[in-house]
Amino acid sequence: MTNPVNSNQLPALSATGAHWVSAEPPPHITAGIMEASGMPHPLAHLLAARGITKTELGHWLDPKIRDLMPDPSQLTDMDAAASRLADAVMQGEHVGIFGDYDVDGASSTAILYRCLDHLGLPVSYHIPHRFTEGYGPNLPALLGLKDKGCQLIVTVDCGVTAHAPVAATVEAGVDVIIIDHHLPGTELPPALAVVNPNRLDDDSGLGYMAAAGVVFMLVVALVRELRQRDWFTANDKQEPDLMAAIDLVALATVADVVPLAGLNRAFVRAGLKIMAKRGRVGLRVLADIGRLTAPPDTEALGFVLGPRINAAGRFGETDLGVSLLTTDDPQQALELATMLDQLNTKRQSVERDTTAAAMAQAEGKTDAVICVAGGNWHEGVIGISAGRVKEAMNKPACVISISEDEDGRKIGKGSGRSVAGMRLGAAIIAAKQNGYLLSGGGHDMAAGFSLDMAHFDAFCQFLNQRAETDLADKPPYQEWHVDVDVPLSLANETLLDWLDRIGPFGSGFPQPMFQARDVRAASWRRIGKTQDHVALRLDDGLGQIDAVAFRVAGTPLGEALSAMQDGRKANIIGRITRNRFRGEDRPQMIITDLQFV
């Protein structure tokens, strides 16, 4: 998607010390979008600023999987994978699935498991224990699936860098198919098929997809192969309802923070509609426990459902997520969802402590990549803590938990989160190839790795050199990209309805940043158990809107908001969301920053 925008930087620093950058798209593009759709000017301006034109508007507002999904055969090795799985179906083979312990891995496992189970195959799956097995296929677990009778094993959301375990499994007489989306190295494991849109010889253009999206295309290819072999007719068997799995593809796409572009937009839009019907027992019960009272949106997937499923892997209860997503038993779903909710509460407490320790180390660091390490920090939450450090420092961050192995060596297990412009997964793979890491991989915005802490300083230096090159053009201060000004008279139900239509929002297409100019606080109060939040009623003379700023007590933004109590006017930026309270929908601004007029 192109972005034909002239950006004008506003000169004043804000309460958070950031610069604001406003977008001014060509007026004729904005006018064309308004003419074609009837949407309010602020949202037409927003789409134009993000590179959407009148010609593309129809597909953007109503993305269809059938229009955007290419033939699965465009993925390298897909035909070989589908053919081998079809052979397994026709011969009634026992198939093993090796997944991952995050939402994408659990969703991918569940999609393939439900499809193969519907086709009548015996299926076993294995999700590795984060602490005793680590990420990705390991030989004992693969051979454990072989011992259960599996002559074909499919790895999902992992495997593309597991050369030795895959080679040994193949040597033991088991066929292996790898379905992954993580960045591969220059060589691939010796599997029967490696389906990964990010492999160097894949021309599908689908490298932005989550693993669950790739798995969905695999089951589409499998069903097509069986149809071509006349298997369904010969066995008087109904084809599986593949579209019923789109809710899991959507969940994984949002939770894995892959770009909401192209086919991913269609997956998420369709998946949210399926979830709203509450047909999948596990997600229905989990939504109820998470107190979701409205149809789900991307925030519900990313901040309510996703974290609870992820909590299982963070604390070694690796099977809970897949079990929840595959069960049809409401009582079992309730038990599983309750356990996941309890683990998520535990995760929040552990993560606060780990993040506080990581932030204390990070304070004052000026490196291009913030690397911190601590003894026995909980490995299950270091990824979240890395994200918190990244957000606070506006730099890529790696958080490492140190423990001792049986030989007394200090071994670090780390997780990293990046900022736009630095391909962290590629940097981690390069670090491993240069001998700084024991293992590692990932994608552009997130990565995991392990290292001998004797190489910690050299690893950090290597990452900093990569970042200094990748981020050479990035300004040395925080920037907020302001999409459009909005008069508060237009912050109404119509705006909210159109926001629903132009979404979903997420990675690659973030929530719009609106600017309300020359506003004053018609009311002001602190809220929350610890009074850390501020609620205001903003007034620009033509309209009003409820607003809230979260976790601002003791911050420069909190002090600036407090100063508005004396009637001072300010320009305020933030997201406008739908606040559902007591059965009433009202617009609400979530404040990001302010500048006094």
Element housing 61 (H / E): helix 57-61
Q: Is 66 exposed, middle or buried (0-12, 13-18, 19+ CB in 10 A)?
A: exposed
Write the Ramachandran bin of 498: left for phi over 0, alpha for psi from -120 to 50, otherwise beta: alpha
Edge-first strand listing for the sheet containing 95-98:
123-126, 95-98, 152-156, 175-179, 193-195
66: Cβ contacts below 8 Å, ≥ 6 apart: none
Average pLDDT over residues 102-126: 98
State the amino acid at position 573 in one-letter form. I
Tell me 245's DSSP state. G
State the amino acid at position 454 in one-letter form. A
Edge-first strand listing for the sheet containing 397-404:
370-375, 397-404, 410-417, 446-452, 439-442
Show the beta-strand stretches assigned E in 142-275: 152-156, 175-179, 193-195
Q: Is the pLDDT of residue 548 over 90?
A: yes
Q: Mind listing the pLDDT tens digit for each residue in 396-440?
A: 999 999 999 888 999 999 999 998 889 999 999 999 999 999 999
CATH architecture of 70-243: Alpha-Beta Complex (3.90)
Opening angle at CA 236, ends 235 and 238, nearest 5:
110
The pLDDT assigned to 130 comes to: 87
Closest Cα partner for 57 from 48, 69, 65? 48
Q: Mind listing the pLDDT tens digit for each residue in 272-328?
A: 999 999 999 999 999 999 999 889 999 999 999 999 999 999 998 999 999 999 999
Interatomic CA distance for residues 38 and 52, integer angstroms? 15
Q: Mind listing the pLDDT tens digit for each residue in 212-245?
A: 999 999 999 999 999 999 999 999 999 999 999 9
CB count within 10 Å of CB 349 equals 10
- Stated length of the chain: 597
> With contact defined as beta carbons under 8 Å apart, do 245 and 219 qualify?
yes
Q: Is the pLDDT of residue 7 over 60?
A: no
Say whether domain 363-470 belongs to CATH 3.10.310.30: yes
- Percent of the chain with pLDDT strictly greater than 70: 97
Interatomic CA distance for residues 237 and 120, integer angstroms? 10
CB count within 10 Å of CB 299 equals 15
Strand partners, 120: none
Supply φ then ψ for residue 234, to 5 degrees: -65, -30
Tell me 80's DSSP state. H
Q: Is the pLDDT of residue 5 over 60?
A: no
Q: Is the pLDDT of residue 6 over 50?
A: no
Interatomic CA distance for residues 580 and 582, integer angstroms? 7
Most confident of 372-376, 396-400, 583-587: 396-400
In the chain, which segments carry CATH 3.90.1640.30? 70-243
The pLDDT assigned to 376 comes to: 81
Q: Is the pLDDT of residue 1 over 50?
A: no
The pLDDT assigned to 8 comes to: 46
**DSSP string covering 551-565, please?**
S-TTSHHHHHHHHGG
The pLDDT assigned to 9 comes to: 46
In the chain, which segments carry CATH 2.40.50.140? 6-24+483-596
Element housing 573 (H / E): strand 570-581
Strand partners, 485: 515
Q: Is the pLDDT of residue 478 over 90?
A: no
Strands 544-549 and 533-539: antiparallel
In the chain, which segments carry CATH 3.10.310.30? 363-470
> With contact defined as beta carbons under 8 Å apart, do 91 and 117 qualify?
no
> With contact defined as beta carbons under 8 Å apart, do 216 and 249 qualify?
yes
CB count within 10 Å of CB 147 equals 8
Q: Is the pLDDT of residue 58 over 70?
A: yes
The pLDDT assigned to 200 comes to: 93
- Please indicate whether residue 580 or residue 243 has the higher confidence score (pLDDT): 243
Interatomic CA distance for residues 133 and 438, integer angstroms? 14
Instruction: Report how far apart the first and last C-alpha atoms of the chain are (Å, whole number).
Output: 35
Q: How many CA atoms lie within 13 A of 241 on its CB side?
A: 6
Reduced to 3 DSSP states, what percent helix, strand and coil does the chain have, rounded to the nearest 5? 45, 20, 35
Distance of CA 435 to the CA centre of its chain: 29
**DSSP string covering 306-336, please?**
HHHHHHHHHTT-TTHHHHHHH---HHHHHHH
Strand partners, 439: 450
Closest Cα partner for 470 from 543, 542, 396, 375? 396
The pLDDT assigned to 10 comes to: 43
37: Cβ contacts below 8 Å, ≥ 6 apart: 44, 57, 61
Torsion of CA 51, 56, 60, 62, to 10 degrees: 170
Buried b / exposed e along 39-51 (16+ C-beta atoms within 10 A): bbbbbbbbbbbbe
Could you check whether the bond before residue 4 is cis, i.e. omega within 30 degrees of 0?
no
Element housing 545 (H / E): strand 544-549
CB count within 10 Å of CB 267 equals 30
- Percent of the chain with pLDDT strictly greater than 90: 86
The pLDDT assigned to 559 comes to: 95
Fold of 6-24+483-596: OB fold (Dihydrolipoamide Acetyltransferase, E2P) (2.40.50)
**DSSP string covering 439-465, please?**
EEEE-SSEEEEEEEGGGHHHHHHHHHH
Tell me 122's DSSP state. -
3-state DSSP assignment of residue 145: helix
Query: Alpha helices, DSSP H only, in 157-230?
Result: 163-171, 211-228
Tell me 415's DSSP state. E
Interatomic CA distance for residues 468 and 368, integer angstroms? 6
Element housing 386 (H / E): helix 382-393
Q: Is the pLDDT of residue 595 over 90?
A: yes
Q: Is the pLDDT of residue 468 over 60?
A: yes
Q: Which structure tokens are listed for 90?
A: 């026709």
Strands 439-442 and 446-452: antiparallel
- Please indicate whether residue 530 or residue 563 has the higher confidence score (pLDDT): 563
Interatomic CA distance for residues 157 and 170, integer angstroms? 19
The pLDDT assigned to 530 comes to: 87
